[in-house]
Structure 1
Amino acid sequence: MDKVHFGIDSLVFRDQTIFGFGWLFHALEEVATLSLRLVSADCQEVYDISVEHGKPRSDVQDSYFASPHSLNSGFVVYGGCAKRIDQITRLSLVGNLASGDRFEVTVSSACLTNLDAPNACWSHALLLHRTKSFLRRGWSLIKQGQFAALSDKARRHLRANHRGSEVSVDAIVHGLTLGGPGKSVLVIDHDLGGGANQYRDGLVADRLSRGATVLVLSYQVATLNHMLLIYGRQPGRRYSIPGLSFVHDLAHRIRFDEVIYNTAVSFVRPEEIPDLIIALKAHHNPFVTMLLHDFFTVCPSHFLLNHQGVFCNLPEGKECRECLQKNQQGFATLFQLKNIEHWRASWGKALSAADRIVTFSNSSLQLLSRAYPQLDLSHAETLPHKVAHFLSEPLLPSDVTALRIGVVGHIAYHKGAKIVQDLAREIARRDTSIQIVVFGTLDANCPERIVTVTGSYKQAQLPELIRDHGVNTFLFPSICPETFSYVVQELMELHCPVACFDLGAPAERLRNYSKGLILREQGASVVLDALIEFHRKIYSLPTTRAIAAEDAA
């Protein structure tokens, strides 16, 4: 289609897994959904992987400033298929427009780097292409004064293009022997950033303070490579390893005194992680802790979103099996068996082998119990995160007369990007003066006169930003059951009014919060009405009817 514009910044394939990012927009219409399609050589099999679309790309907007859809054109794709890349003959991006029309554009094979090829390595051309893309985006951020976002992107760019040194089991064993007789701790964790990685950093610091050596088994999505990070007497070292077999071999040579499962979201062949935990437990009986930062132990769709992108509420039997077969969300496609009984059996054994299970809310423990009704959870405990970023004194909004809605965080689809978009459009439809301010980023195209997006910020800046933008009522729009939510806790610490849907840990806490509101429906009109009434009630403002009666008198 000549009205569809797109570009591929990076697309790499390894071990039946693909990762890429770029941009795509239609000149006249909004793109509603987007998928990457892989077609087998015999054209008998088609694999569609959902693409996270709608991410801000100011560099693309600079080049296509006349198009209203160029800003939120960025996309990221990550997922698996059951074929080797030499068995795939066609790649394309397929999607639906807001009008309902479908489109498909071919992705050239020249855009793809096959890391499974003999003697494959990161080519200079690929690294140069990625660096040019980073510089283009970086210059756009500099022009907008988004220095916090630029710093964050720089860190991620450097990490994504550094695979770490190759290493042997002998070298690791020798290095640990030189480090002294302290305990060895293995942490299993992703490399995606966010709250789970922050929690891991705290774990590493704590164990180091006790004299232990900490090894972090991770997976780097950008390079499609398993990583081993080692922290001890020397500064952190980062190594590329061939796979989980490396850790099995290592466990035969050294003793792991403690194994901590933080999360394995994004790992290829994730069903092998519980087998690893069970094998490690059998080797030297380490103390095993399982942490529930998400619901990956329950389902490969770790936000518990079904194939339609809606919270599934853990259905039973046939419905659950059929959903996993149809689910095209990237992380879900990494489990290529697509058999929920196999998944729960494997993770159930790991949970049973654990000495300790930690959840961060009662709602998470309840969902875990529903998924595993036969599991003995007597060794499970609920320990909410501690938030000590702000002083506990109330934040007084600079203006309460007009409703000004705040949304905090990096708002992707599961965090409620569509909710914010629909709410903004409902405000525009009613032609009211209500404004929305997103403190962070938003993966959706919204009316600029209604929605302001600040971009990334440092955590300590949030109170000042709230005052500067005159926000007085907050919406936490997540459509999945969060296991905790630092954002909600931080807003409560600031004594801000907060509304959320009846899902997960946020709803659990806001029920007992004097300035909390539980929204029963997700429709934009109902949400807007509820927020208007919530704002009036919190600030003791007169209703429209009362104002009219006073004027008449």
Structure 2
Amino acid sequence: MLAIRLARLEPVHPDDLAVAATAWHLRGDRQQTMALLLEALRLDPLHGVAAKGLAAQGPPLSADIMRALLWHAETDPDAAQALIKHALSANQPLAYVTGRCIHCVVPPGTWELTVRWRQMVLVQSRMAASDQARLAALPIPDGLRGIADPVVSANGVDLVSGPIDASWLSAPRLTAIVEPGIKARWIVQAMDLACPSRPVTLLLRDGDRVLSRHIISPRPTGSPALAALATKVADVPALAIDPPADAVCPGLFFELTGEPVTVPGVVGTDDGIVDIVVPVYGDLEATKACFNALLTRSPGTAMRILAIDDASPDERISRFLDGLAAAGKLVLIRNPGNLGFVRSVNIGMAQHPGRDVVLLNADTLVSDGWLGRLRAAAHRDADTGTVTPWSNDATICSYPAANASTALASVDIDALNRLAGQYLAGQVLDIPTAVGFCMYIRRDCLARVGWFDADAFGTGYGEENDFCLRAAAAGWRHRMALDLFVGHVGSASFSTGKQARIDAALAILEQRYPGYQADINTFIAADPLRLARRRLDLAQLGGQGSPRPALVLCAQLGGGTDRFIDQLVKDRGKGGQDVLILRPAQPEAGHPTLRLEAPDAPHLTNLIYDAGTELDDLRADLRHLGVTGAELHHPAQMSGDLLSRLAGWFPYRAHIHDYGWICPRINLLDGDWNYCGEPETAQCEVCVATHGDLLGIDRSVTAWRDLTRQVLQGAQTVGCSSHDTANRMRRYVPTAHFQVAPAETARPAPPSPALPVRRPGEALRIVVPGAIGPPKGYGLLLDCARDAAERNLPLLFLILGYSMDDDALADTGRVFMTGRYKEEEAPALLAELRPHAALLPSVWPETWCYALTHVMDAGLPVAAFDLGAQAERLRMAGGGLLLPAGLPAKALNDALLAAFPPQ
């Protein structure tokens, strides 16, 4: 009677008809059963109970029944069995889709199965003669998932199931909304964004035990809401799920992928093992190296490796993982299609609800003790949620370069890990977010905060930041384990597509957490990791064995000064004595700094000290490195107080490279860039006040000279490259111990090439060597070029190098520049230029001048002003055209043409 009443209810509902049909079936009335089931299927063309009931009545199956069974085969094993039974009874193959793969059931016999799309054959499978029915899997290429709607044929005949919907084969993108109901009830809506027209199955599990299975189906095909399913999960019917009261750690999972749906807020039993979750997709060699390190390096605590094969397109990777899994070295989970990094991570994290987890990229390299140090850092404080180690490529956790990647091949992972463990043992530091390449997550934090947001960050990037910000809002802290280093291959560059994903993720983060990027920038600017990076640099430097007794103090100035120091470093190195260089830098954010460099270890870039607050630390570190003496090469970028203090640490020598020791304008040049003649100090005060202090001293000229006089007097020796320099400086510091030695060691004179002969009517080609700025006579050279053009003089200037304004010189039509060159290229360039003579237009008394060496070695006659080391060197060489200082351009041009006439 109840069945009859259900069938008569208005409006008629297919579920009521299906229940009524069951009652009539039990009473043995096949006709009434069939009528009710057919009506139910008419009202809901995808009604599973009706379709299965009709199929149970026996063949043949109509197209409508088969369509409904095919639709349910993904989630309903009974529907799949009905299809299989039909194929066998009808003695014809039939294809259906489960697990995002085409399955074909074939009766006994010999079969040739083909999957084709348009004109392409995607899969071919030959099944030899057999008297048994068989089931064949026909996976299509991953690149065509969600694109191809293939047709399956058997022995050349298309199967009656027809073309397969492309979305049924696409990689799943499962999503769900879970709301709390009355008491412990969950109200759940779920769907597959990649295939919104098919149902999804949820498993209610308590640990590894499956408690119940639930299917959530979209509304019938005729529903207007169906078109919106791809974007609105809220349109999916809700399902109430009641976890049993005795469940210890209940959770919901998608059956198809194993992805977790909810975190119940309780933690399972911790067995002391840490799950290492490694999603794998590409890069075979990096993947092999990663697992080799995991399996051969002592982790320092118990672990289980979970490899998630995210449908890798490289069959070699799949075979490699199969081999490790078969040997019992890891647990392998293979996704039904490429789910992406975030979904793969969620699957791995959900495997054991009681364990902490480490998310590890498949392009990382671990060293001995790595996991034990991570776990210790994670459990040092009760509110620690995540822990991240150092790496060569880990954004804010990077070393040796701060906030920048360093190629893995250029760092020694094991050595750095040992140093970190030795010199930063047990140290942790708060960071604003974990970095996902190697991220330890405590289970209690994960249980409270929830899984990574795969819907928003499914393609990867930003998911760990979102998790960390949610965790921070819940009171969890994120730490960095300073005693651990993990290598990371990373990526040196981004494709356009990848950069677009990064930009999109950052936009989501900024929308969800306003000020997030500003907080990261604040952390970077404050750089709380600076001292730890410096400690690691010092550990590396100190571990190289030999002491470094010599400290060279000089700013990075370029030109001859840097060349002199480079040669000094080479000479000391040849003698087995490594050198340290201390370079003052311009103030950053109001804080002057000092940077310690080891020329033989240029990768150690973190030896930076605050000149105001860390000088005692610097002095202690220098003594620890074996420094016993210093060389002061230039006072640039140092305050007087800093210069005096540094000079008092060790016995020292000084060197004169220019006149910055006595002249704040450095080169003894006035405001018109002419040699000042070295007047009384009172005039110097006026000059500096009027034309500017290029050295940046913090006192008057008088006070500066008083200070530098004391420094130079205290030096064991004051090196000068020329007698002219020593004599000039002696007037200001008469009691200093000056010592003259050429800046370049004497070398055999090169064979003098045959100089080009200037023929009548040929322009005089004058080479000008060096980097030509105001002290080197740029203004004078420009005037000479303009004068040559105006008077149409047979005169060309060839700059072996470059100038401060090449365009202005080139516009005269009388100047040609070679551009920057290497020292060893000078002879060849001079041979190409074929100059008749050389001009050194420096307007200040040089202390040496390396550019002069090039033209002298070439055997060229040289013209220069009778001033400074340039004049001294030309006299000692027994030649050259020495001109009076201050000679104007017109007179200089006339002198050159007169000195080097045609022959």
Is TM > 0.5 for Structure 1 vs Structure 2? yes
Structure 2 CA distance for aligned equivalents of residues 452 and 176 of structure 1: 46
Deviation at 1:304, TM superposition (A): 1.3
- The match for 1:370 is 731
**CA 1:390/1:449 → structure 2, altered by over 3 Å: closer, same or farther?**
farther
SS of the residue aligned with 2:639?
coil
> Given that residues 670 and 691 in structure 2 are in contact (C-alpha distance below 8 angstroms), is that contact kept between their aligned partners in structure 1?
yes
Greater relative contact order, per chain length (Cα 8 Å cut-off, separation 6+): 1
C-alpha deviation, 1:187, in angstroms: 1.0
Aligned partner (choices 385, 397, 400) of residue 758 of structure 2: 400
Residues 406-421 of structure 1: matches in 2 within 5 Å?
406-421=767-782
Q: Which residue of 2 aligns with 1:114?
A: none
Q: How does 1:10-29 map to 2 (within 5 A)?
A: none
Give the Cα separation in 1 of the matches to 2:821 and 2:600.
33
Q: Which deviates more from structure 2 when the two are superposed, residues 389-398 or residues 425-434?
A: 389-398
Distance 1:387 1:209, change over 3 A: closer
Matched, 1:494 2:861: no
Structure 2 counterpart of 1:137: none
Alignment correspondent of 2:788:
427
SS at match of 1:509: helix
Aligned position for 1:383: 741
Q: Write the distance in 2 (CA, Å) between the matches of 1:474 and 1:328.
A: 32
Which of 332, 342, 353 pairs up with 2:714?
Answer: 353
Give the alignment partner of residue 241 of structure 1, picking from 601, 605, 609. 609
Secondary structure of the equivalent of 1:464? helix
Cα distance in 1, alignment partners of residues 611 and 818 from structure 2: 40
CA distances 1:119-153 after superposition (whole Å, capped 9, x unpaired): xxxxxxxxxxxxxxxxxxxxxxxxxxxxxxxxxxx
Paired residues of 2:681 and 2:702 also in contact (CA < 8 A): no
What is aligned with 2:846?
482
Q: Does structure 1 residue 457 correspond to structure 2 residue 821?
A: yes
Trace 1:313-352 onto structure 2 (pairs within 5 A). 313-328=677-692, 331-332=694-695, 334-337=696-699, 339-352=700-713
How does 1:484-523 map onto structure 2 within 5 Å?
Answer: 484-520=848-884, 521-523=886-888
- Please give the residue correspondences for 1:10-49 in structure 2 after superposition, counting only pairs within 5 Å: none
User: Contact between 1:217 and 1:228, CA under 8 Å: does it hold in 2?
Assistant: yes
> Alpha-carbon deviation of 1:213?
4.8
Cα distance in 2 for residues equivalent to 1:273 and 1:202? 26
2:398 alignment counterpart: none
CA drift at 1:483: 0.3
Superposed displacement of residue 296, structure 1: 1.3
Task: Report the CA distance between 1:435 and its aligned residue.
Answer: 1.1
Q: Does 1:293 align with 2:660?
A: no
Do the aligned residues in 2 keep the contact of 1:397 with 1:470 (CA within 8 Å)?
yes
Question: CA offsets, 1:380-423, max 9 Å, x none?
Answer: 21001226799611132334223111111110111111111010
CA contact (8 A) 1:358 1:382 kept: yes
Aligned to 2:595: 228
Q: CA shift at 1:441, angstroms?
A: 0.8
- The one-letter amino acid paired with 1:199 is F
Please, which runs of 5 or more residues in structure 1 have no aligned partner? 1-162, 542-553
Query: Contact conserved, 1:481 with 1:505, CA < 8 A, in 2?
Result: yes
Structure 1 residue 460: deviation in Å? 2.6
Pairing 1:280–2:616 present: no
The letter for the 1-side match of 2:549 is: S
Which residue of 670, 678, 684 maps to 1:306? 670
Corresponding residue pairs, total: 362
Cα distance in 2 between the residues matched to 1:477 and 1:196? 19
Contact 1:217–1:226 at 8 Å: present in 2 too? no
Mark the runs of 5 or more structure 2 residues left unpaired by the alignment: 1-526
TM superposition score normalised by structure 1? 0.60
Residue 546 of structure 1: aligned partner = none
**SS of the counterpart of 1:414?**
helix
What one-letter code is carried by the residue in structure 1 that aligns with 2:837? T
How many Å apart are 1:263 and its aligned residue? 1.8
Instruction: Provide the residue aligned with 1:151 in structure 2.
Output: none
Q: Which amino acid aligns with 1:274?
A: L
Residues 450-459 or 342-351, more deviating: 450-459
Contact between 1:360 and 1:385, CA under 8 Å: does it hold in 2? Answer: yes
Contact 1:186 1:217 in 2 (8 A): yes
- Give CA deviations for 1:474-531 in whole Å, capped at 9, x if unaligned: 1101111110011112221221110111221001111243440111142011111111
Matched with 2:547 is 182
Matched position secondary structure for 1:526: helix
Aligned in 2, Cα 1:397/1:213: closer, same or farther, shift over 3 Å?
A: closer
Measured against aligned partners, the alpha-carbon deviations of 1:17-73 in whole angstroms (never above 9, x if no partner) come to: xxxxxxxxxxxxxxxxxxxxxxxxxxxxxxxxxxxxxxxxxxxxxxxxxxxxxxxxx
Native 8 Å contact 1:419 1:522 kept in 2: no
Report the counterpart of residue 85 of structure 2 in structure 1.
Answer: none
Aligned to 2:22: none
Once the two structures are TM-superposed, the CA of residue 464 in structure 1 deviates from its matched residue by 2.7
Q: Secondary structure at the match of 2:863?
A: strand
**Structure 1 residues 221 and 417, CA gap change in structure 2 (3 angstroms):** farther
| SS, match of residue 900 in structure 2 | helix
Measured after TM superposition, the shift of residue 467 of structure 1 is: 2.9
Determine the C-alpha separation between the residues in 2 that align with 1:459 and 1:404: 22
Within a 5 Å distance, the mapping from 1:530-549 to structure 2 comes to 530-536=895-901, 541=903
Give the aligned residue type for 1:384.
P
Give the drift of 1:443: 2.3
**Partner Cα separation in structure 2 for residue 198 and residue 532 of structure 1:** 34
Q: Is the 8 A contact 1:263 1:291 kept in 2?
A: yes
Amino acid in structure 1 at the alignment position of 2:744: K
Higher Cα Rg, which structure: 2
Question: Are the aligned partners of 1:274 and 1:349 in contact in 2 as well (CA < 8 Å)?
Answer: no
Identify the range of structure 1 (252-261 vs 474-483) with the bigger mean alpha-carbon deviation: 252-261
Q: Is the 8 A contact 1:248 1:276 kept in 2?
A: no
The answer to whether the 8 Å contact 1:183/1:211 transfers is no
Query: What secondary structure does 2:891 align onto?
Result: helix
Q: 1:313: Cα distance to partner? A: 2.2
1:524 and 1:232 map into 2 onto residues whose CA distance is 43
User: CA 1:361/1:167 → structure 2, altered by over 3 Å: closer, same or farther?
Assistant: farther
- The answer to whether the aligner puts 1:270 opposite 2:639 as a matched pair is yes
CA deviations on 1:359-382 (whole Å, 9 max, x unpaired) are: 00011001101222xx313x3210
Q: SS at the partner of 2:552?
A: strand
**CA–CA distance in 1 between the matches of 2:570 and 2:703?**
36
- The residue aligned with 2:894 is 529
Kindly state the Cα deviation for residue 211 of structure 1 after the two structures are TM-superposed: 4.6
State the 1:270 CA deviation: 3.3
Deviation (angstroms), 1:214: 2.9
Q: How far 1:167 moved relative to its partner? A: 3.7
Q: Structure 2 vs 1, CA of residues 222 and 452 (structure 1 numbering), >3 Å: closer, same or farther?
A: farther
The equivalent of 1:98 in structure 2 is none
- Matched letter for residue 411 of structure 1: I
Offset of residue 298 of structure 1: 1.3
Q: Which amino acid aligns with 1:487?
A: A
Q: Which amino acid aligns with 2:771?
A: H
Contact map agreement 2:583 2:594 (CA 8 A) in 1:
yes
Q: Secondary structure at the match of 1:310?
A: coil
CA RMSD of aligned residues (A): 2.8
Quick check: 1:477–1:500 contact (8 Å CA) kept in 2?
A: yes
Counterpart of 2:9 in structure 1 is none
Question: What SS is found at the alignment partner of 1:237?
Answer: coil
Distance 1:244-1:441 versus aligned 2 partners, 3 A rule: farther
Say which SS state the counterpart of residue 511 (structure 1) adopts. Answer: helix
